């Protein structure tokens, strides 16, 4: 079998996301948008799919490397892409996931079964959207999530946002006192039987992180995630030594499993963190296995179709939770977008995500919608 082509299908849809001047995002009125699906094609008619992609990048960088190669040689291709100066690790991870989808569709099995298979359902935590409002907005959402069956809830409080001026701003400085107000209110509302976490997205100094960590320890929070900018490893080592609460990081350090292996060895975090943007399914599985060998958790950043297969292939003591969200009170999270037949993470009454049994990554596309909304090459 050989790869013959890589095509990107672009089509019109809707979005309510907007960038801010600081590089973060906000939500507003729904507007027209364009989504894409990448398709890897073979000479035997087997195809693999993934949501996203850019045709120009595929034509100029990816296709010259991969066309003519066996799509089942994922390990070889993973190393080729990792060594290629024109392929970012995000792009390499994207292609790796698409190759896994191709293999799963070929043999008729979901990727988590191809990786060995360990679980068919995963404990979920409700992951809040950031900047939702005052503490009462988080309290209301956390209580609603508890009623839905969630046993855990993660706070994203004020990120790239000034809660005093009530306007967007740069990443630093953070506002730890306001974040803790949210955390206290949520803990008081949900009681002691709900697992809670905080992710401030790197907005604190070391001193602020120590203070926040100690406050969270009083509130019996499970972990403090990504509290400082992650380009500085030494403050994370010091923070792990200083606090009892688990530090979950790094979330956005480049270098995939190789960089994260150094964090494990250096004691830069108590729990590791990765997603398919940092090495694809192949790289994430390697890193989760490394964490298992060292006896620490590897918590996946986000769920979605791709990350969910790492969770399904790993035991709970290595990858405990499925991050479900980011949840916003004005969004019907249970309804798929019009180009998909189902969401990736249906939730049962006990707060577990039920993993897909469909082949590959599990995505089933609504081709009638996609074909009716195709974007022409010249648009």
**pLDDT computed for residue 166 by the predictor:** 96
Tell me which DSSP letter residue 356 carries. Answer: P
Exposed / middle / buried, residue 181 (Cβ in 10 Å: 0-12, 13-18, 19+): middle
Buried/exposed code over 334-364 (b: 16+ C-beta within 10 A; e: otherwise): eeeeebbeebbbebeeebbbebbebbbbbbe
pLDDT, residue 22, reads: 86
pLDDT band per the 50, 70, 90 thresholds, residue 23: confident
What percent of the residues of the chain are helix, what percent strand, and what percent coil, each to the nearest 5?
35, 25, 40
Give the per-residue pLDDT at 378.
57
Per-residue pLDDT of 97-153, as tens digits, reads 999 999 999 999 999 999 999 999 999 999 999 999 999 999 999 999 999 999 999
Residue 379 predicted with pLDDT over 70: no
Are 227 and 174 within 8 A, CB to CB?
no
Q: How far apart are the C-alpha atoms of 223 and 248, rounded to whole Å?
A: 6
pTM recorded for the entire structure: 0.96
The residue among 234 and 379 whose pLDDT is bigger is 234
CA geometry: angle at 355 spanning 252 and 131, to 5°? 40
Q: What is the mean pLDDT of residues 224-231?
A: 97
pLDDT beyond 60 at 197: yes
In the chain, the percentage of residues whose pLDDT exceeds 90 is: 94
**∠ CA(83), CA(84), CA(87), 5° rounding?**
120
Average pLDDT, the chain: 96
- pLDDT (mean) for 40-65: 97
Domains of the chain (ranges plus CATH)?
3-108 (3.30.390.10), 113-354 (3.20.20.120)
100, with CB counted inside 10 A (0-12, 13-18, 19+), is buried
Q: What is the pLDDT of residue 29?
A: 86
Looking at residues 50-64, what average pLDDT do you find?
97
Task: Compute φ and ψ for 213, nearest 5 degrees.
Answer: -60, -40
Mean pLDDT of 273-284: 97
pLDDT, tens digit, 9 for 90 and up, residues 323-352: 999 999 988 999 999 999 999 999 999 999
Give the Cα separation of 250 and 192 in Å (integer). Answer: 28
pLDDT over 70, % of the chain: 99
The rounded distance, in Å, linking the Cα atoms of 174 and 204 is: 5
> Among all chains, which residue has been given the structure tokens 């929070």?
221
Is a pLDDT exceeding 80 seen at residue 377?
no
Q: Residue 237 pLDDT > 70, yes or no?
A: yes
Write the CB contacts of 319 (distance below 8 Å, at least 6 apart in sequence).
Answer: 122, 288, 297, 298, 299, 300, 310, 311
């Amino acid at each position: 079998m050989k790869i013959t082509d890589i095509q990107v299908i672009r089509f019109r849809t809707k979005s309510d996301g907007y960038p801010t001047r600081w590089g973060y995002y906000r939500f507003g009125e729904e507007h027209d948008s364009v989504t894409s699906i990448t398709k890897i094609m073979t000479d035997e008619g087997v195809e693999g799919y993934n949501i996203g992609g850019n045709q120009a990048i595929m034509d100029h960088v990816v296709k010259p490397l991969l066309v003519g190669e066996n799509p089942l040689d994922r390990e070889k291709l993973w190393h080729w892409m990792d060594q290629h100066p024109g392929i970012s690790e995000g792009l390499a991870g994207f292609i790796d996931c698409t190759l896994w989808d191709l293999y799963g569709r070929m043999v008729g099995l979901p990727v988590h079964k191809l990786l060995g298979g360990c679980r068919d359902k995963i404990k979920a935590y409700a992951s809040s959207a950031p900047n939702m409002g005052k503490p009462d907005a988080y309290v209301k959402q956390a209580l609603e999530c508890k009623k839905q069956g969630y046993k855990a809830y993660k706070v994203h409080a004020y990120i790239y946002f000034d809660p005093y001026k009530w306007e967007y701003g740069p990443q630093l400085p953070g506002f730890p006192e306001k974040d803790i107000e949210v955390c206290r209110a949520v803990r008081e509302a949900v009681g002691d039987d709900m697992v809670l976490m905080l992710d401030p997205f790197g907005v604190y100094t070391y001193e602020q992180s120590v203070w926040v960590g100690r406050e969270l320890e009083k509130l019996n929070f499970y972990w403090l995630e990504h509290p400082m900018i992650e380009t500085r490893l030494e403050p994370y080592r010091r923070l792990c030594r200083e606090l009892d609460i688990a530090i979950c990081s790094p979330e956005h350090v480049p270098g995939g499993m190789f960089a994260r292996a150094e964090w494990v060895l250096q004691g830069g975090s108590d729990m590791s963190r990765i997603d398919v943007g940092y090495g694809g399914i192949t790289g994430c599985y390697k890193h989760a296995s490394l964490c298992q060998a060292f006896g620490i958790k590897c918590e996946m950043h986000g769920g979605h179709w791709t990350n969910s297969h790492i969770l399904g292939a790993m035991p709970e003591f290595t990858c405990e939770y499925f991050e479900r969200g980011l949840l916003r009170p004005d969004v019907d999270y249970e309804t798929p977008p019009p180009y998909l037949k189902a969401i990736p993470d249906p939730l049962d009454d006990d707060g577990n995500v039920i993993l897909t049994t469909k082949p590959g990554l599990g995505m089933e596309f609504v081709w009638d919608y996609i074909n009716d909304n195709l974007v022409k090459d010249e648009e």
